[in-house]
């Protein structure tokens, strides 16, 4: 009976995923937008230097930008300084993004494992029930070895499911922590 209840709770990950990962996508999008704006601001001096060296028409339209100008700027010390300042000023946000993506991925992995473990438990319990029911109908005694085997197999699968649930909680806590820092 416990296997059925666990199957009902963990086999369909749609609701579980929605509950646990709610807001994670929003937090990731917020972080990406912030990082994109910050990177654009950091490299804007480089782009301005490239545009200053471009050939323009009297109306101000860019006519030509030389490849050597772009290559020189992108390989220059000033560009490296611009990128370096971006990385140094926004390293914490980049780490939040990385850690949030990692925690979400690990949570999803453990959610798959728990649903498969519960499904395995349900199948095992069904097979054991059929075996014991058939043994009862055929009036066959259940040996101690078979009884212990069923208990050991069930205990192993239940233990695996508890391990999965613990890992899911751990990564859910990480997701919540990073999400709270971002949103």
**Nearest Cα to 66, choosing from 47, 50, 46, 43?**
50
In a domain, 122, yes or no: yes
Taking CB atoms within 8 Å and a gap of at least 24, the contacts of 106-109 are 106/167, 106/171, 107/20, 107/21, 107/168, 107/171, 107/172, 107/175, 108/17, 108/21
In a domain, 50, yes or no: no
In a domain, 96, yes or no: yes
Give the CA dihedral 23, 24, 29, 34, nearest 10 degrees.
100
In a domain, 119, yes or no: yes
In a domain, 141, yes or no: yes
Q: What's the Rg (C-alpha) of the chain?
A: 29
In a domain, 153, yes or no: yes
Q: Domain limits at 35? A: 2-39+90-182
Q: Residue 140, CB half-sphere, CA atoms under 13 Å: how many?
A: 10
**pLDDT truncated to tens, each residue of the chain (183 aa)?**
666 566 556 555 566 666 667 778 888 888 999 999 999 999 999 888 888 877 767 776 676 777 888 888 888 898 999 999 999 999 999 999 999 999 999 998 998 899 899 999 989 998 988 888 888 888 888 888 988 999 999 999 999 999 999 999 999 888 888 888 776
How many domains is the chain built from?
1
Q: What is the pLDDT of residues 78-108, one digit of tens each?
A: 899 999 999 999 999 999 999 999 999 999 8
In a domain, 33, yes or no: yes
In a domain, 66, yes or no: no
Two tokens, residue 78: 């000033």
**Nearest Cα to 19, choosing from 178, 168, 183, 181?**
168
């Amino acid at each position: 009976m416990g296997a059925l209840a666990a199957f009902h709770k963990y086999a369909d990950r749609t609701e579980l995923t929605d509950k646990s990962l709610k807001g994670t996508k929003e937090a990731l999008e917020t972080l990406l937008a912030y990082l994109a704006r910050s990177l654009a601001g950091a490299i804007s001096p480089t782009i301005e230097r490239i545009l200053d060296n471009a050939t323009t028409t009297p109306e101000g339209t860019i006519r030509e930008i030389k490849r050597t100008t772009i290559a020189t700027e992108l390989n220059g010390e000033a560009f490296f300084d611009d990128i370096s300042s971006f990385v140094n000023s926004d390293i914490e946000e980049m780490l939040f993004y990385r850690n949030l993506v990692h925690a979400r991925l690990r949570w999803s992995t453990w959610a798959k494992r728990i649903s498969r473990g519960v499904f395995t438990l349900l199948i095992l319990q069904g097979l054991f029930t059929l075996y014991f029911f058939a043994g009862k109908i055929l009036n066959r005694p259940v040996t101690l070895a078979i009884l212990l085997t069923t208990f050991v197999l069930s205990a192993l699968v239940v233990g695996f499911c508890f391990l999965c649930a613990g890992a899911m909680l751990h990564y859910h806590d990480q997701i919540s922590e990073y999400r709270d820092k971002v949103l």
